[in-house]
Amino acid sequence: MKYYVVDAFASKVFEGNPAGVCIMDAWLTDDIMQKIAIENNLSETAFAVKEDDYYRLRWFTPAREIDLCGHATLATAYVIANFYETDIKHIQFQTLSGELLVVKNGDLYEMDFPSRMPEAHSLTDQMVEALGVKPSETYLGRDLMFVLESESDVVNLDPNFTKLAALQDGLGVLITAKSDQYDFVSRSFFPKLNVNEDPVCGSAHCNFIPFWAKRLNKQEMVARQVSKRGGILFCKFLGERVAISGQAVLYSISEICIG
């Protein structure tokens, strides 16, 4: 079985967020897919099977299956458009988060995702201890989201991952701040999924985009995730949906041998 590694939200290798991608004729068992994700130890491995005129898409972290993943969706669209259906411009996915559409526009892949504005949430001492800094605002959706005072606070944050994993609220921990060069910056942490820092997290921007669209009074924004690898995301707020665009580049193609 072919196994692709694609750097998503990147214009060259070793940037953005690497995702594993397997395009299959039929589904493997959940146990085998989980073991593949563990074996390759990327933040997400995507598995897709074509059904009628769409692809069924699932995402596995090294810990478990998740309901939404942006960078692995972008990576899967890249693999389909470059190796399976080279004339395709619109790729329809059915997922645990419903229908997701990806449109190929030159070297950009625009993903249509749900808008997930988080709710204001109480800050606890445990959260401050885990972050190592006191955020100015706290929100909760699927993930905890913290707004910091400055871009430099986001860049320099050095959280305690053990304490982040012990927080009762949220699956992941997202931090963000207004930026001078971009509209906003962010970082994303998922130690509960055995992923301490996700280099560029598309699903986190389902929270960031509606938040910053309202805060900045802008419908279109450019964001940067300021992890060590880093990545740029072109964002649009569409009310109930958000559009997230980025580039992708192939790192490797290999063969998985599972008998």
H helix runs in 143-253, sequence order: 151-156, 161-166, 205-216
Dihedral (C-alpha) 102, 104, 109, 114: value to the nearest 10 degrees? Answer: -20
Distance CA 185, CA 175 (A): 8
Pairing of strands 241-246, 231-237: antiparallel
Distance CA 2, CA 81 (A): 15
- Active-site annotation holder among 15, 39, 44, 149: 44
> Which CA distances in Å does 188 have to 9, 25, 208?
14, 33, 11
Q: Is 44 a catalytic residue?
A: yes
Q: Which amino acids are annotated catalytic?
A: 44
